[in-house]
Amino acid sequence: MNLPPAVTVDAVTKRFGAVTALESVSFEVSAGEIFGFIGPDGAGKTTLFRILSTLMLPDTGSARVLGHDVVREIWTLRARIGYMPGKFSLYSDLTVEENLRFFASVFGTTIEAQADLIAPIYGQIAPFKDRRAGSLSGGMNQKLALSCALVHRPGILFLDEPTTGVDAVSRRELWDLLGRLRDDGLTIVASTPYMDEADRCDRIALVQKGRILQIDRPGAIGDRYPLPLFAVSGRERQALTVAVRRFPHTASVFPFGAELHYTDARAGVASTVIESELIAYLANAGLSDIRVTPIRAGIEDAFINLMSSAEDEEQLATAVSGES
pLDDT per residue rounded down to tens, the chain (324 residues): 578 999 999 999 999 999 999 999 999 999 999 999 999 889 999 999 999 999 999 999 999 999 999 999 999 999 999 999 887 778 889 999 999 999 999 999 999 998 888 888 888 888 999 999 888 888 888 889 999 999 999 999 999 998 887 788 888 888 998 999 999 999 999 998 888 899 999 999 999 999 999 999 998 999 999 999 999 999 888 999 999 999 999 999 999 989 999 999 999 899 999 999 999 999 999 998 999 999 999 999 999 999 887 665 554 344 444 544
Decide if 322 is inside a domain: no
Instruction: Specify whether 15 is located in the same domain as 161.
Output: yes
Decide if 316 is inside a domain: no
Decide if 305 is inside a domain: no
Residues 315, 317, 318, CA angle at the centre, nearest 5°? 65
DSSP 194: -
Instruction: Specify whether 242 is located in the same domain as 153.
Output: no
Q: How far apart are CA 54 and CA 79, in angstroms?
A: 11
Of the residues 161, 188, 222, which one is the last residue of a structural domain? 222
Decide if 301 is inside a domain: no
Instruction: Specify whether 43 is located in the same domain as 154.
Output: yes
Of the residues 222, 242, 269, which one is the last residue of a structural domain? 222
Instruction: Specify whether 90 is located in the same domain as 168.
Output: yes
* Predicted structure pTM score: 0.87
pLDDT of the residue at 324: 45
Segment 268-273 long-range contacts (CB within 8 Å, at least 24 positions apart): 269/228, 271/228, 271/230
Decide if 45 is inside a domain: yes
Name the CA dihedral angle for 176, 177, 179, 185, rounded to a multiple of 10 degrees.
170
Residues contacting residue 171 through CB under 8 Å, at least 6 positions apart? 139, 163, 194, 197
Number of domains in the chain: 2
Q: How far apart are CA 216 and CA 203, in angstroms?
A: 5
User: 119 lies in which domain range?
Assistant: 7-222
Instruction: Specify whether 267 is located in the same domain as 187.
Output: no
Answer for the pair 70, 215: CB distance below 8 angstroms, yes or no: no
DSSP 295: -
Decide if 184 is inside a domain: yes
What residues pair up with 2 in beta bridges, in sequence order?
A: none
Decide if 12 is inside a domain: yes
Pairing of strands 203-208, 211-216: antiparallel
Give the sign of the dihedral formed by CA 208, CA 209, CA 211, CA 213: negative
**Cβ count near 288 (within 10 Å):** 9
Of the residues 222, 251, 283, which one is the last residue of a structural domain? 222
The residue length of the chain stands at 324
What phi-psi label fits residue 257: left (phi over 0), alpha (psi between -120 and 50 degrees) or beta? left
Instruction: Specify whether 185 is located in the same domain as 94.
Output: yes
Answer for the pair 67, 4: CB distance below 8 angstroms, yes or no: yes
Decide if 195 is inside a domain: yes
Instruction: Specify whether 141 is located in the same domain as 263.
Output: no
Instruction: Specify whether 192 is located in the same domain as 255.
Output: no
Instruction: Specify whether 68 is located in the same domain as 48.
Output: yes
Instruction: Specify whether 103 is located in the same domain as 48.
Output: yes
What residues pair up with 322 in beta bridges, in sequence order?
A: none
Which CATH number does the domain housing residue 263 bear?
Answer: 3.30.70.920
Answer for the pair 298, 234: CB distance below 8 angstroms, yes or no: no
Q: 49, exposed or middle or buried, with CB in 10 Å at 0-12, 13-18, 19+?
A: buried
DSSP 161: S
**Cβ count near 176 (within 10 Å):** 11
Answer for the pair 189, 7: CB distance below 8 angstroms, yes or no: yes
